[in-house]
């Protein structure tokens, strides 16, 4: 099943270069990360409506934001926590009608309350996970991945990959320079993170855009060390590729959470929006994302049912090292991060 998932994601990632949307039910358009068209996430919607929604894809949240600001129309999108306030301030979101979300009382309280604005909720938490040092166990010395400074190790020059994602890449840079809470980052901390990323840039083979791309790079051995979501080791281990992640480097690792939002002025009505939300909150979706993708789920009640062993197996269990949580940050700082990362990738 995971082979098919990886191949499907890869094929669709190439397909959207030419088309931008995966045609299905035109009465619901979901603007999402590539890979989340996996029907295992919303089987209840398919049972209810006879097929998947229409999906359009983005590679990074700033790209999604700019397209929506420019007039691209969709009903639902899937930002992560640090983007929701920005999207809300830009007038892109409608508040959730929580009375239409049948399992709302099962949703993770901390995650949903993070986006309670003026008494209304603006994001349905859907998925969460970690970003950590991920490596080919047959090609990398285990001692070298005890620290995120492995990305500065000349031994691996040209065979490392970082995410083409501003939040993940700065989570790494802050950890590497001694910051574990980016909401408290100073201008000096930001400068140090930039300097670290500029030092690593010449070592980078490529900045990966999605899990399927990174999976291919690590399977071939073109990349042997990466800063990656926990999807990558979960998927590749199932294919018997010798890949592991170390969340317990001495500097730590990062966690993130994302969710679905109701876009203002979507081209369709709201009924199918909430059918999709309810399908995502179904227990079958929670079990699927943990077991097949290695991610956590926003339905906390179902995560409790799955238990600690399921989290440990997915690489999401408790660890005794620093964790940089990708929580909402000062938007002025994030805008500076976006601009600086573009310069760094361009070699400046």
Q: Please say whether the beta carbons of 52 and 25 come within 8 A.
A: yes
Residues 296, 325, 206, 155, CA torsion sign = negative
Matching fold, domains 2-127+257-313 and 129-255+317-345:
yes
Distance CA(182)–CA(172), nearest Å, equals 11
Q: What is the pLDDT at residue 160?
A: 98
CATH 2.40.160.40 assigned to 129-255+317-345 = no
Write down the domain spans for the chain: 2-127+257-313, 129-255+317-345
Token pair 């990360």 is found at 33
Q: Please say whether the beta carbons of 257 and 328 come within 8 A.
A: no
In CATH terms, the fold of domain 2-127+257-313 is D-Maltodextrin-Binding Protein; domain 2 (3.40.190)
Residues 26, 31, 37, 39, CA torsion sign = negative
Give per-residue pLDDT as tens, 136-171. 999 999 999 999 999 999 999 999 999 999 999 999
Residues 264, 269, 270, 275, CA torsion sign = negative
Tokens of 332: 């002025």
Distances (CA, A) of 128 to 37, 184, 250, 302, 332: 17, 22, 22, 14, 25
Collect the ranges in the chain with pLDDT lower than 50.
1-23
Phi, psi at 178, each rounded to 5° = 90, 15
Phi, psi at 169, each rounded to 5° = -70, -35
Total-model pTM: 0.83
Distance CA(28)–CA(164), nearest Å, equals 28
Distances (CA, A) of 77 to 54, 233, 269: 12, 26, 15
């Amino acid at each position: 099943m995971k082979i098919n998932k990886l191949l499907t994601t890869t094929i669709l990632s190439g397909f959207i270069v030419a088309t931008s949307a995966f045609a299905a039910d035109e009465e619901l358009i979901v603007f999402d990360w590539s890979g989340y068209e996996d029907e295992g996430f919303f089987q209840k919607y398919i049972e209810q409506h006879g097929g998947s929604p229409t999906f359009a894809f983005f590679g990074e949240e700033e790209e999604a934001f700019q397209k929506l600001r420019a007039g691209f129309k969709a009903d639902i999108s899937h930002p992560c926590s640090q983007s929701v306030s920005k999207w809300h301030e830009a007038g892109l979101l409608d508040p959730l009608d929580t009375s239409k979300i049948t399992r709302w009382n099962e949703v993770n309280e901390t995650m949903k309350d993070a986006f309670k604005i003026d008494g209304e909720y603006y994001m349905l938490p859907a998925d969460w996970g970690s970003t950590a040092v991920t490596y080919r166990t047959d090609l990398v010395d285990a001692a070298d991945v005890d620290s995120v400074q492995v990305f500065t190790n000349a031994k691996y020059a040209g065979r490392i990959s970082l995410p083409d994602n501003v939040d993940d890449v700065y989570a790494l840079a802050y950890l590497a320079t001694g910051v574990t809470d980016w909401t408290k980052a100073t201008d000096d901390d930001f400068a140090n993170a930039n300097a670290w990323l500029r030092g690593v840039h010449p070592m980078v083979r490529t900045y990966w855009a999605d899990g399927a791309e990174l999976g291919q790079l690590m399977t071939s051995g073109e990349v042997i060390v990466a800063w990656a979501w926990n999807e990558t080791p979960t998927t590749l281990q199932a294919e018997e590729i010798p890949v592991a992640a170390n969340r317990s480097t001495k500097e730590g690792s990062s966690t993130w959470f994302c969710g679905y939002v109701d876009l203002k002025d979507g081209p369709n009505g709201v009924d199918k929006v909430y059918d999709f939300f309810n399908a995502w909150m179904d227990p079958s979706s929670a079990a699927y994302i943990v077991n097949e993708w290695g991610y956590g789920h926003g339905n906390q009640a179902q995560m409790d049912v799955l238990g600690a062993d399921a989290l440990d197996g997915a690489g999401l269990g408790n660890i005794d090292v620093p964790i940089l949580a990708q929580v909402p940050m000062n938007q002025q700082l994030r805008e500076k991060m976006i601009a600086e990362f573009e310069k760094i990738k361009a070699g400046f």
